[in-house]
Structure 1
């Protein structure tokens, strides 16, 4: 790839990507365009501009984009319409951010005439797959530079030495800063590395940044009411909010009540097992509430079919296939099911728990109290019909019993 003229780098301004920026300049002798995405990670992104300039990047080649609304509206919300959950627990917070970053990188590459893109994901993890599947799906002929698969700077010590040798200003973490490898966005924050590499070790309490411990959460429960339209939350406690505002507020409420902590060992796409801890306070509330509103607005067979698709849909996102035709096909079906998912859900938040206490839909509820009642239904339901229903459904078992139970 010695003919590369310009590359778009996913750039955070931290140690890894700052070293990558300089390494790209030295190794490929190419022009570098930096792209920094604000997807709600809670850190200032503007300092990345100053660091890029210090490394010789032209102002017109520095892109810092606020993608929070797009992230929730076009990626998080569609995923939650599917009730997607990986291996029964993980709400896919890191996974769902990668296709958006890849999409914007390719848009910038097209805008600036770049012939390559680059990322800072290692050769061991899932992110390299997620980024690159996105790149190729959106720009099939793009060249991809993955420094961690090319260079010999395979330790933090070597990265720091390279930075010092090349005059790269790396702000040292404050004393007492987190020792974990972390990734954050509006949906979650993840923790990996150090003591967490021993799956038998309990995480230290001061690791968690977004949530109080359930033991220290308020002793008074808090009620919250969510309004749904076509499967998406459009208001909280009667106040209309944008998608990013919805998730921001639910993160605040969930964090306050110790909701959304998770400690799992997951199966990475590349083949290894990895232990990670996650905080997904808003997403945990969203998942519980969405299933509650669907319980009264979805036909039984539609709901059950959706449940059969969850594992496949979640694996597609986890493994990086957001832009694949099968995920798009599934999304079309899932979105069609959400036309009737309208109404409200009332929840009680209490010491790490999300408790559904009410749900209703004035326009699309399939719950008929006249039929479901344990009181006299005045002919709304004919109990005698059940005998034939049961007898027909037992037919195959009765036939088998006559044959084998002699």
Structure 2
């Protein structure tokens, strides 16, 4: 192994990164500086500094990235309408670029000669972190213990932790692989590895951001969200910064069983993976944003934007945030959002989101044009000429076919 004097570790305090500190010191003989990114995971950061220092780190940075994460990564993705494989709202994916960028800043400040992460060789995050690091420090060496050590499973990781007196917040019976931030919480592993098994939504302790739709109130809840140029700025008439909007809607959506998905996604590295995701506030925001766009975007822009959204989601999922294409697509999205301003009222009921009214000063809807009643601006006779010209290729093709058959 190449030796390093000081390594910066992306440290979450979870199972993987908890054992990496002693492993790095044993195998590289290096000083380990730990850095944790606060992207809204809440109590997971409690006691982290004490734990990192006790297990061998020389210091711990805790970076408050919540507002920057929401404003510069979450909301641009929301504006794009980007959804991976029709279900995943990219909660883990778009947290990685900002963390990777900040890791480089700390590593350069500390004079570290390598950066280490705890991602497995089977997952997407190894790609996301490393592409983000390379985008800001292309020559920085990267250590990925899962591609080096003899450990083969999470059970063996727990064995290693117990042998090295590394405290853990999990046990072998509750050893789901989870990732949490302000936007979402993911669950993978254990019984979820069998696609035939139903997730245990009603089991106490499984869901953390909300309740099962079966346990939600029998009375619906209403909420109104205001958007300015595609960015949410207020809830029920109260202006809020972005992170507070997500927090507010997380609480409301979670209480009403909103935002649970169970998907079999295609990982970047080639395998399928089953995950259960909790995204209560994000699901509400995506739904509301789509309702407003239906009112404010013309047909051609809306249809083309859907194509862009698909590609945008792939780029985010694949860790390609810091690429010219993502930046170019964001420029297109920003242009489309100039008129996406207004209020969207929604009804939340047992996991469902039901539209309850949308208004905008830029609405393209004309009641006078669309009415089934009498109007003074649309001559229905004009449609005959339109249909004749629009259907001309079909008419020509049909006549040719008749001639061929004769």
TM range (shorter): over 0.9
Asked if the contact 1:13–1:47 (Cα under 8 Å) also holds between the matched residues in 2, the reply is no
Offset of 1:39 from its aligned partner? 1.1
Offset of 1:120 from its aligned partner? 0.4
CA distance in structure 1 between the partners assigned to 2:155 and 2:174 by the alignment? 18
- Per-residue CA deviations over 1:210-233 (Å, capped at 9, x if unaligned) read 222212211111111000001011
Show the counterpart of 1:215. 214
CA distance in structure 2 between the partners assigned to 1:191 and 1:160 by the alignment? 18
Asked if the contact 2:345–2:356 (Cα under 8 Å) also holds between the matched residues in 1, the reply is yes
Show the counterpart of 2:393. 396
Asked if the contact 2:258–2:352 (Cα under 8 Å) also holds between the matched residues in 1, the reply is yes
Q: Does 1:58 align with 2:55?
A: no
CA distance in structure 2 between the partners assigned to 1:72 and 1:95 by the alignment? 13
Show the counterpart of 1:183. 179
CA distance 1:401–1:321, shift in 2 (3 Å): same
TM (norm. structure 2) is 0.94
Offset of 1:15 from its aligned partner? 3.0
Show the counterpart of 2:93. 95
Q: Does 1:140 align with 2:138?
A: yes
Q: Does 1:267 align with 2:266?
A: yes
Asked if the contact 1:46–1:64 (Cα under 8 Å) also holds between the matched residues in 2, the reply is no
Show the counterpart of 2:345. 346
Offset of 1:172 from its aligned partner? 5.0
Range that drifts further, 36-45 or 337-346 = 36-45
Offset of 1:95 from its aligned partner? 1.1
CA distance 1:139–1:405, shift in 2 (3 Å): farther
CA distance in structure 2 between the partners assigned to 1:4 and 1:266 by the alignment? 37
- Per-residue CA deviations over 1:169-226 (Å, capped at 9, x if unaligned) read 3135379x73311111111111111111110111112122222221221111111100
Asked if the contact 2:21–2:56 (Cα under 8 Å) also holds between the matched residues in 1, the reply is no
Asked if the contact 1:293–1:341 (Cα under 8 Å) also holds between the matched residues in 2, the reply is yes
Matches within 5 A, 1:15-34: 15-34=15-34
Matches within 5 A, 1:373-384: 373-378=371-376, 380-384=377-381
Show the counterpart of 1:47. 47
CA distance in structure 2 between the partners assigned to 1:57 and 1:182 by the alignment? 23
Show the counterpart of 1:385. 382
Show the counterpart of 1:195. 191
Matches within 5 A, 1:319-358: 319-358=318-357
Unpaired runs of 5+ residues, structure 2, are none
Q: Does 1:170 align with 2:187?
A: no
CA distance 1:46–1:210, shift in 2 (3 Å): closer
Show the counterpart of 1:36. 36
Equivalent of 2:110, from 94, 109, 112?
Answer: 112
Unpaired runs of 5+ residues, structure 1, are none
CA distance in structure 2 between the partners assigned to 1:143 and 1:222 by the alignment? 51
SS of the equivalent of 2:42 reads coil
CA distance 1:162–1:213, shift in 2 (3 Å): closer
Equivalent of 2:366, from 365, 368, 382?
Answer: 368
Range that drifts further, 331-340 or 203-212 = 203-212
- Per-residue CA deviations over 1:330-370 (Å, capped at 9, x if unaligned) read 111011111111110000111111011111112x1111222
Show the counterpart of 1:153. 151
CA distance in structure 1 between the partners assigned to 2:113 and 2:198 by the alignment? 46
- Per-residue CA deviations over 1:77-110 (Å, capped at 9, x if unaligned) read 1111011111111111111111111111111122
CA distance in structure 1 between the partners assigned to 2:314 and 2:370 by the alignment? 37
CA distance in structure 2 between the partners assigned to 1:179 and 1:31 by the alignment? 29
TM (norm. structure 1) is 0.94
Range that drifts further, 151-160 or 45-54 = 151-160
Matches within 5 A, 1:273-352: 273-352=272-351
Offset of 1:326 from its aligned partner? 1.0
Q: CA RMSD in A?
A: 1.7
- Per-residue CA deviations over 1:7-57 (Å, capped at 9, x if unaligned) read 211101233212111222222222222111111123241412112222343
Offset of 1:160 from its aligned partner? 3.6
Asked if the contact 1:14–1:170 (Cα under 8 Å) also holds between the matched residues in 2, the reply is no
CA distance in structure 1 between the partners assigned to 2:248 and 2:174 by the alignment? 25
SS of the equivalent of 1:263 reads strand
CA distance in structure 2 between the partners assigned to 1:165 and 1:256 by the alignment? 41
Range that drifts further, 311-320 or 205-214 = 205-214
Show the counterpart of 2:238. 239
Show the counterpart of 2:256. 257
Offset of 1:377 from its aligned partner? 1.7
Asked if the contact 1:15–1:170 (Cα under 8 Å) also holds between the matched residues in 2, the reply is no
Asked if the contact 2:117–2:143 (Cα under 8 Å) also holds between the matched residues in 1, the reply is yes
